[in-house]
Amino acid sequence: MKKMAIVGAQWGDEGKGKIVNYFSKDFEWIVRFSGGSNAGHTIYYKDKKYVNHLLPSIMPNSNSKGFLGAGMVLDLEKLVEELSILESDFPDISSKFYIDLEAFLVLPWHKEEDEIIESMRKKPIGTTRRGIGPSYTDKVSREGIKFYYLFDESLLMNRLEDIYYLKSSYYGNKLKTSISEVYEFLIKARNRLEKLKVNYASAIEMGEVFRSTSVLFEGAQGVLLDLDFGTYPFVTSSSCMAHGVSSVGFSTFELDDVYGVLKAYTTRVGEGPFPTEIFGEEAEKIRRLGNEYGATTGRPRRVGWLDLPALRYAKIRSGLTGLVITKSDVLNGFDQIKVCTNYEIKGKIKDTPSSSYDFFVAKPVYKELKGWKNTSDINFLKYLSFIEEQTQINVDYISYGPKTEEMCSKNHLILNIDR
Ligand code: GDP
Ligand code: IMO
Ligand code: MG
């Protein structure tokens, strides 16, 4: 039974939600394995837009079910909010979602800490302020709250007291939420989840189920925001690569396909290096045409040309087996398109960054290609062939609009090209 992962090949917001949603009809399970509500995955269903922050991008009217894995950090306020939005259009949909008991929680304190630390940093990261860094920090320093604590109230209270004791010694009176407020908030959210009939399970219990059926793993963020291999410290705090499926008990060797999703250009939200970034009128034009404003925070996204060295890096780091290109329609009508083919690093030309350091010192080397009128234009096919030649990986699917059905395989595109 097929196992596939879809991950971001750039700095996030590549259109993963849409692509997962497109494939989801062929899969029994859609599994989120990392990140939290910093993610914003946009999908359309019957012309209505939904933005999933925590919920896997299942197709609401299909039989597929969603699993929120142990590698995630869950903000229960956001989770209940998202489920309530879906419930109003699809009653009882919550019972299609399963939460791993080992997942960690984002507490109200974590969101306060994210604000405090960002405002104190000399060089802010530009986080989403969703408490992601502080929640993963607590996990690693062994102060985290696991989802299953919610079902043992005295354990939960004890742990909150211990954690607050530590936190208040770092933060003094800067943290505004009291222990009892956090406790009551968590119990209330747990009761709401139970009422909605959300399911709880562990990857151990789900192991047999997942192995005997089809599973689509939905990555969050993008390879260049990965904690280990992204443009550190301007990264998120979790694994953004296919390897993250290990938190659901899988190895990457069990994946039939790992698709990297990329835009026909590049965007980034937040601070940090971005070698192909462009400014001024051209940047504004792409931002406007691509509606490049964050799905989670509404911040304008920084924009730039396609970066092939970064894509080669993402291919190797995340073991990509194929590519899906999105937003090709945004560049329709451009006379010329620039593509970065190499980096000049300390006077030497490089194809592929050898470490994340290279992104900080790279000067992009560009090639200009002819633009296209639409995806049936031969110049668009040439653009795809150029990417394939340069990166030695196939572009298997093309997305040319935000709606789920605005998508085709490359073979289909070739048959319909205007010659
Ligand atoms: P994700 O985080 O990777 O799921 O991506 P986001 O949802 O944050 O951002 C992608 C944005 O591009 C969303 O507004 C999508 O609706 C939109 N989108 C996805 N694919 C396409 C496409 O091929 N063309 C256009 N014009 N928009 C797209
Ligand atoms: P999806 O899944 C784009 C960025 C933030 C910031 C950095 C750290 O929708 O592609 P964090 O709040 O995680 O501590 O912020 O990471 N970031 C994203 N950028 N898409 C995302 O998710 C992102 N999630 C985090 O802007 O630069
Ligand atoms: Mg997004």
Distance 149 CA to ligand 2 centre (A): 27
| Chain center to CA of 268 | 12
Q: Give the model's confidence band at 416: pLDDT under 50 very low, under 70 low, under 90 confident, else very high.
A: confident
Tokens of 60: 């609401």
Tokens of 75: 């903000």
The Cα–Cα gap between 293 and 326 comes to 16
Share of the chain above pLDDT 90, in %: 94
263 in ligand 1 pocket by Cβ < 6 Å? no
Using a 6 Å CB cutoff, which residues line ligand 2?
A: 8, 12-13, 38-41, 125-128, 130, 132-133, 220-222, 225, 236-237, 269-270, 295
CA angle 199–4–389, rounded 5-degree value: 150
Burial of 191 (0-12, 13-18, 19+ CB in 10 A): exposed
399 in ligand 1 pocket by Cβ < 6 Å? yes
Burial of 131 (0-12, 13-18, 19+ CB in 10 A): buried
Mutate to test the pocket of ligand 1, among 20, 37, 327, 330 (most ligand atoms within 8 A of CB): 327
What is the number of the ligand closest to the CA of 57? 1
pTM of the entire predicted model = 0.97
Q: Is the pLDDT of residue 417 over 90?
A: no
Distance 294 CA to ligand 2 centre (A): 9
Bridge partner list, 348? 345
Q: Which is it for strands 407-409 and 65-68: parallel, antiparallel or unpaired? A: unpaired
Residue 13 annotated to the active site:
yes
pLDDT (mean) for 71-87: 97
Per-residue pLDDT of 313-367, as tens digits, reads 999 999 999 999 999 999 999 999 999 999 999 999 999 999 999 999 999 999 9
Nearest CA to ligand 1 atom 28: 402
Q: Is the pLDDT of residue 295 over 90?
A: no
Domains and CATH numbers, the chain: 3-102+199-254 (3.40.440.10), 104-194 (1.10.300.10), 262-415 (3.90.170.10)
Say if residues 247 and 33 touch (Cβ distance below 8 Å): yes
Choosing from 26, 41, 307, 418, which is the catalytic residue? 41
Nearest CA to ligand 1 atom 9: 13
Angstrom distances, CA of residue 230 to CA of 34, 291, 314, 336: 15, 25, 9, 30
Residue 53 annotated to the active site:
no
